[in-house]
Amino acid sequence: MQYCLNCGAEVYLNYCPNCGQKVTVKRLSAKSLFEELFYFFTHIERTFLKTLFEFILRPGVASLNYLKGKRKNYQKPVSFFLIWTGLYILFHNITINYFHYLPDRVNPALAAIKEESNELLRSNFTLFFLPVLFVSAINIYFILAKPRFNFVEITALCLYGAGCFNALLFLGDVLLGFVFRININANPVFIYQTTIAGSYNLWFCFDFFKKLQLRFFWSRLLLNALFVSLFGWMVFLYFPYWWLLLTR
């Protein structure tokens, strides 16, 4: 008879029936650390990147799989969102500082506060992203998902969508800012990002909700994409600016 080293339960097979720990846990050695390192990277390849590709290329199937309980192959939604948001904003800031990309200056009187609000947005990106995520979930829930799916399920899908969106922004920064040396802090790039947001939202919702045979499907789809893009645009463009005006 073997006992689990983690919780003490009796174990008959390779994994503890109570807590799930492997039976063959040994004392830590250099080999086990290397094994963990190796596992981390192969694991990232298997779940983290797979989650990304699946939710970009076939978001409908991936969403249904996840909601119906086929979850082992996917990174969990909150960590997926946080990791991509972190990676994107880290890389964005490094690129902007390294190549000295400055924001467009339209009006000299506004330039200072514009730059300051840009800075505020970049250093608190996740904070500004959350209302966009929340409003997107509300939009999708009321316009497309109700009553087939509940609000929390839609929020989980929005976390995947937002994670993929930030991964796409990350990719855009790498290509435009790093490879082609285009100023990624200027308005044209911002418009390009809004376009990505709108079309990815449309693609995600189309691929997922087309299975439900909704009435007025295309009108609802377009209305939702329009609302989500407009609100996102407003938040990223004006919220930091209003924040500064209100707090001084």
Q: What is the greatest pairwise CA distance in the chain? A: 78
Whole-number minimum distance, CB 11 to Zn ion, in Å? 7
Return the amino acid letter for 138. Answer: I
Q: Contact 126/209 with Cβ under 8 angstroms?
A: no
Q: Where are the beta strands (DSSP E) in the chain?
A: 2-3, 10-11
Residues 61 and 80: their CA atoms lie apart, in Å, by: 18
Instruction: Compare residues 4 and 89 and give the one whose CB is closer to Zn ion.
Output: 4
Whole-number minimum distance, CB 15 to Zn ion, in Å? 9
Instruction: Compare residues 24 and 107 and give the one whose CB is closer to Zn ion.
Output: 24
Residues 244 and 239: their CA atoms lie apart, in Å, by: 9
Instruction: Compare residues 16 and 197 and give the one whose CB is closer to Zn ion.
Output: 16
Instruction: Compare residues 4 and 189 and give the one whose CB is closer to Zn ion.
Output: 4
Whole-number minimum distance, CB 20 to Zn ion, in Å? 7
Residues 136 and 75: their CA atoms lie apart, in Å, by: 21
Whole-number minimum distance, CB 23 to Zn ion, in Å? 9
Q: Which residues bind Zn ion (CB under 5 A)?
A: 4, 6-7, 9, 16, 18-19, 21
> Could you identify the residue written with the tokens 């190549």?
99
Our CA dihedral for 178, 180, 184, 190, rounded to 10 degrees, sits at: -130
Instruction: Compare residues 7 and 245 and give the one whose CB is closer to Zn ion.
Output: 7
Whole-number minimum distance, CB 4 to Zn ion, in Å? 3
